[in-house]
Chains A and B, each alone.
Chain A
Amino acid sequence: MGKILIVDDTLFMRTLLKNILFSGGHTIAGEAGDGEEAVAKYKELKPDLVTMDVVMPKMNGIEALKGIKAIDPAARVVMCTAVGQEQMVKLAIKSGAKGYIVKPFQAPKVLEEVKNVLAT
């Protein structure tokens, strides 16, 4: 079970993800609505894992991932992605993302990925 920071620009997705993670017994360290906020919150909250949306205003998920990795190279970041974004995800993996989940989220898959990434 981990303490998780949820990053997504929509309240809808954050709520959805939050409830899935709750149901898996995780705690929510915090939420961020854009990349800049994500980096700031990471610094402040030091979560065990971050779920990171890719397309966001101000600073996109890839940049935010790089920002977080710069603060903490061991950061566990799971990208939230959608079909058609393979290239973006690959870029994220190269930048140090530890996993990815595909929208629309399926609770068991999300929890499995989070569990696996937390175990690394």
Chain B
Amino acid sequence: MSEFEAYRGLFVAESRENHENLVKNLLILEKGPDQNAIDEIFRSVHTLKGASASMGFAEMERLCHAMEDVFQLVRSGTAEITEDLCSLLLACSDLLEQMIDDVEGGGDTSSMNADKQVNALKAWIEQRGGGKAQKKATAPAAKARDATPATETEPSDNSGGLPEYDLQVTVASECMMKDVRALLAIGNLESLGTILSLNPSKEAIDEGNFDGVLTIRIASDAGEEALKTAASGTEIADVDVKPAAKQEPASPKKPTDADKKPAAATADKSREIKNLRVDIHQLDHIMNLVEDLVINRGRLKQIAEQHRIKEMDEAIGMVERSVSDLQNLMMNIRMIPLNQIFNRLPRVVRDVAIYDSKEVEFVIEGGETELDRSVMDGLNDPLLHLIRNSVNHGIESPDAREKAGKPRKGFVKLSAYRDRDNVIIKLTDDGAGINVEKVKSKAIEKGLITQDTANTLTTDQAVDLLFQPGFSTADKISDISGRGVGLDVVKRSIESLKGTIRVETTPGKGSCFELLLPPTMAIVDVMIVRINGRRLGIPISSIVEVANFKRDATHFIGKGEAVLLRDEVLQLMWLNDMVGLSEVCEILIVVQYEKRKCCIPVDLVEGQQEVVVKPLSKLIGNTRGVSGITILGDGEVIPVLDVNTIA
């Protein structure tokens, strides 16, 4: 096993690709016959089999082998794809995925048991009666030599009067394809002379009727040695050459095409490697180094400003440009298309729909939109949950849909696109929409709100209740989307990616979940502000406006304080808890999150800068309102606000 350790990463990466291809094409096949999909599946399974066999992962190989057998029949047209078969093959692919996970974790799939799947596949082949065709192709034919006269070739004519030889070629017993070895030996001998007789015949060998010993009579002037060399080779146990009876010894001539090796051209350096795989940890490490560079670039700039040396400014300008280019390049390298996670989702929709006896058409758009890997990592689970929710809670049963005058088949669309600095992912369904009254009564039941509050809630506010911890409108926890993980977890996951989630819903028409995500997390453009002598960073992306602040123009609404700005009432968000009370706040930073706006009073704005936001240690615990810290050019460590969670 150990000699293969070096290939483990490669094996996992390529096996995942093949697994994905397998599932994708199975889903295509489920919709109707498609020769290309069948070929693709066969190829993926075949590759998985070969690779797992090479790594010595026996259980995985066994499973792939059984799947390949089934597909051989499908491919040759002997068997048809049915829904049952698709489900069986999907179940097999699930196990395959688990096996790949196991390998990734250092295992060798021996802890897995593929009995159930392999037996089911075998039973399927048995049912089709397809086993026979298979056996014919692989079974060694033991009776080949008994049937001598029938299989022997007609003696050919040796009109050239060349010396004749009798050869007996024995193929090694451990050889896996004895008949192929025999054909190869025959082919090599044919290039040296005329084969006069052959036992068993080529046709018989071709049909698999060969038990390991081949008798040949050949007319050739190549000589005994050359004939022996030609007939022997890999896995040939023995070659016996004798001049045929009544033959004079052969003249020792050289074989004609033994010295025809093409000259090795030395100038072939044009081989290029256009892509290479890089360990993601190495990429993370490079990213960290780039971040350090960005920090130190800021520092250098600040030092240069104090000293005002022309040459130094120039040099720093150059460095700055290189660092910016490097940073952009690194960002691009880390970007991966959303398809990486989108591709798995059709399968999820299919499973949930079958489980719930619903009919759903699922469409994906914009899968080529790219996101930073770190954002992508955190997106998988929330997205999975939302998709399940859509089918499970959103789409009605076919009958209910028909009653409501809709097509029986529900429609779920997942789309992604880039909007300025953000990536927007939308999940739309044409289901029943969110029942606001049901949400309210559930919230009252769960003690989240009182009846009085419920009466005053707007639709948006009521829908927001869905994201409260411990809320679930499902009447019973289903196997598919329940499990106690609610939308609150989804919201928190999205927020931890510096993103936001929003819902729009129309009763009877459906809902739309909209995720707004930053394409990358690491480097952020921030505005540096000062309050009470302390500096803070506010991400530019969440700032709408910077305005003058008149202390006497504030209004008190309940416990809160608000200002009227451009005919809008905006809540004031004092950061006294964080930085202490300031008496000289003259500027308002208007920030927006989701659809809400509020303003943060600050003393002064120092400037704008690209910074690297480092997350806070987990030891610090929950830090709502702060997304991380950054180091400024002068070495000061300042917090960066997280506008999404500040309120």
- What is the interface of chain A, defined by CB distance below 8 A to chain B? 3, 9-13, 15-16, 29-31, 44-46, 48, 55-57, 72, 74, 81-84, 86-87, 89-90, 93-94, 98-100, 102-105, 109, 112-113, 116-120
Contact = CB atoms under 8 A, between A and B. Distances in A.
Nearest to A110: B234
Contact of B53 (A31, A99, A103): A103
A77 to B, nearest CB: 12
Contact of A11 (B14, B46, B55, B72): B14
A44 B268 contact: yes
B277 interface: yes
Given A48-B261, A103-B53, A12 B208 contact: no
Contact of B188 (A48, A86, A109, A120): A120
Contacts of B277: 11
A53 to B, nearest CB: 8
Contacts of B619: none
- Where chain B touches its partner, the secondary structure class is helix
Contacts of A81: 177
Interface in B1-44: 7, 10-11, 14-15, 18, 40, 42-43
A86 B262 contact: no
17 contacts: A10-B47, A13-B51, A15-B10, A55-B46, A56-B43, A57-B43, A72-B262, A74-B262, A84-B68, A84-B137, A86-B137, A93-B183, A98-B187, A103-B50, A103-B53, A104-B56, A120-B257
B125 to A, nearest CB: 13
Contact of A83 (B10, B18, B47, B176): B176
B264 A48 contact: yes
- Where chain A touches its partner, the secondary structure class is mixed
A109 B10 CA distance: 23
Contacts of A9: 43, 47
Contact of B137 (A87, A98, A100): A87
B370 to A, nearest CB: 23
A45 B51 contact: no
Nearest to A83: B176
Interface in B133-153: 137-138
B183 A90 contact: yes
Given A98-B184, A102-B176, A120-B258, 7 more contacts: A13-B54, A55-B42, A82-B49, A82-B53, A99-B234, A103-B50, A104-B55
Contacts of B260: 74
Given A44-B270, A55-B47, A57-B43, A12 B11 contact: yes
A93 B180 contact: yes
B356 to A, nearest CB: 36
A11 B179 CA distance: 30
- In order of increasing CB-CB distance, the 4 nearest A-B pairs are A104-B53, A104-B54, A113-B234, A103-B50
A90 B50 contact: no
A5 B238 CA distance: 30
A55 B262 contact: no
B50 A13 contact: yes
A57 B39 CA distance: 9
Report the interface size class on chain B.
35 or more
Nearest to A91: B206
B7 A15 contact: yes
Contacts of B50: 10, 13, 82, 103-104
A112 B174 CA distance: 15
Given A13-B54, A104-B54, A55 B43 contact: yes
Given A16-B54, A99-B184, A45 B262 contact: no
B521 to A, nearest CB: 30
A116 B234 contact: yes
A45 B268 contact: yes
A86 B49 contact: no
Contacts of A74: 257, 260, 262
Nearest to B272: A30
Nearest to A14: B10
B618 interface: no
B265 interface: yes
A72 B260 CA distance: 12
B274 to A, nearest CB: 11
B180 A100 contact: yes
B453 to A, nearest CB: 60
Max chain A Cβ within 10 angstroms of own Cβ: one of B177, B180, B235, B277: B180
Interface in B117-143: 137-138
Given A74-B257, A113-B234, A29 B51 contact: no
A84 B229 CA distance: 29
Given A12-B10, A112-B234, A113-B234, A82 B180 contact: no
B73 to A, nearest CB: 12
Contacts of B559: none
Contacts of B230: 120
Max chain B Cβ within 10 angstroms of own Cβ: one of A29, A87, A93, A112: A93
A3 B271 CA distance: 13
Contacts of A109: 234-235
Nearest to B175: A102
A86 B268 contact: no
A99 B54 contact: no
Contacts of A89: 177, 180
A102 B177 contact: yes
Interface string B601-636: 000000000000000000000000000000000000
Contacts of A118: 261
A81 B230 CA distance: 22
B233 interface: yes
Nearest to A102: B176
B43 A12 contact: no
